[in-house]
Amino acid sequence: MTRSATGLDQRQLVHRDVWEKKETIRLLYRDFHRRLLENCPQGRILDIGGGTAHIKDSRPDIVCADILPFPGIDVLADAHRLPFPNECFSGVVMLDVLHHLERPIAFLKEASRVLKPGGRLPMIEPAMTTLARRFYTLFHEEPVDMGVDPFADVAINPDRDPFDANQAIPSLLFATQAARRQVEAAVPALRVRSVEWLSLFAYPLSGGFQSWSLMPAALVRSLLALEEKVPKRVQRQIAFRMMVVLERVE
C-alpha cells in the first residue's frame, strides 16, 4: 500500500477527491445509501468497509467501520472479526465490500452475530449479468474469477491488500436460487429476503470514481427513474449492480 504524508492510503485520498469534485457520483451514491438504509429497521446501524465514510453525508449517526483509517471512520476492524457484542445492531450495511473480503461466509456469520433478531444486512455489489460481466472482465481494474469457491474456508493472509478483490463473489453467492439456499445452509441465522438488479444506465455513464463522466448531474434523477421502469427480466441481463437483503431470523 502507498501511504500519504498523513499516513492514509493514497487510494482513499484519490477516492475522496473524486467524491468532492463530482456531483454526479454523490447523487448516485445518495440513491445507493437511501436504498440500503430504507431496508434496515429503526435502530443502530453499522456500515462495514466505510472507506472514506461518505455514507455519513446521508446519516451522520451511523457507525462506520473499516480496516484502514480515514476521517469519519469510527472503528478500525477486520470485517471477519468485528469488535462488537452480540445482537447490538438493527442493521449492517455494505456498499462494494463483500467482493473484497477474503472469507465471505465467515463474514456473514459474524454479521449475523452482531445483528439483532429481525435485523437486516442489505448490501450493494457488482453483478455479473450478461452485459456487465463482459465490461468488468475487459475494462475494470478488479478481477473477475467465476471459478472460485466462495464457501471455501481459506487461510487468512496477514499481508493481503485490503483492496484485493474478486468481483464475481456476490453473484456466485446470490445470483441463483441454488446459491442462496447454500448460503442459508452455511449461515442458518440469515435468510435471503430479496435480490434486486441496479445500475442499468446511470452508473456506467457516470464513470464511477474515474475523473470522467458521460452524464451531467442534472440527468441523474431522470435516468434512475427510467431504470425503475425497465422490466425485471431485462434488468437481470444488463444491470451492473445487485442489491441483496438478508435478515437475521433467530
Strands (E), 59-189: 63-66, 75-76, 89-95, 115-126
Q: What value does the mean pLDDT take over residues 147-152? A: 96
Cell of 41: 429497521
Q: Residue 48: beta bridge partners? A: 65, 94
Task: Measure the CA–CA gap between 66 and 82, rounded to whole angstroms.
Answer: 10
Q: Is 26 exposed, middle or buried (0-12, 13-18, 19+ CB in 10 A)?
A: middle
Q: What is the DSSP string of 55-81?
A: GGGT-TT-EEEESS--TT--EE-BTTB
Find out whether 59 and 67 touch, Cβ atoms under 8 Å: no
Q: CA torsion 106→32→85→52, rounded to 10°?
A: 90
45-82: per-residue pLDDT in tens?
999 999 999 999 999 999 999 999 999 999 999 999 99
Confidence label for 156 from pLDDT (cuts 50, 70 and 90): confident
205 neighbors 214 (Cβ within 8 angstroms): yes
Within 13 Å of residue 227, how many CA atoms lie on the same side as its CB?
25
Interatomic CA distance for residues 201 and 196, integer angstroms = 15
pLDDT tens string 159-209: 999 999 999 999 999 999 999 999 999 999 999 999 999 999 999 999 999
Mean pLDDT of all residues in 224-241 = 97
Share of the chain above pLDDT 70, in %: 98
Residue type, 122: P
| Rounded Cα distance, 157 and 66, in Å | 17
- Tell me the C-alpha distance between 194 and 184, whole Å: 13
Residue 1 binned pLDDT confidence (cut-offs 50, 70, 90): low
Dmax of the chain from CA atoms? 49
**Chain centre to alpha carbon of residue 50:** 10
**Which contacts (CB < 8 Å, 24+ apart) does range 72-75 have?**
74/50
* Residues 4-26 pLDDT 10s: 657 789 999 999 999 999 999 99
Q: Is the pLDDT of residue 153 over 90?
A: no
Distance CA 22, CA 24 (A): 5
User: Residue 90 is placed in which grid cell?
Assistant: 438493527
Per residue in 104-137, pLDDT tens?
Answer: 999 999 999 999 999 999 999 999 999 999 999 9
User: Which cell is 191 given?
Assistant: 435468510
Q: Which amino acid is at 240?
A: F
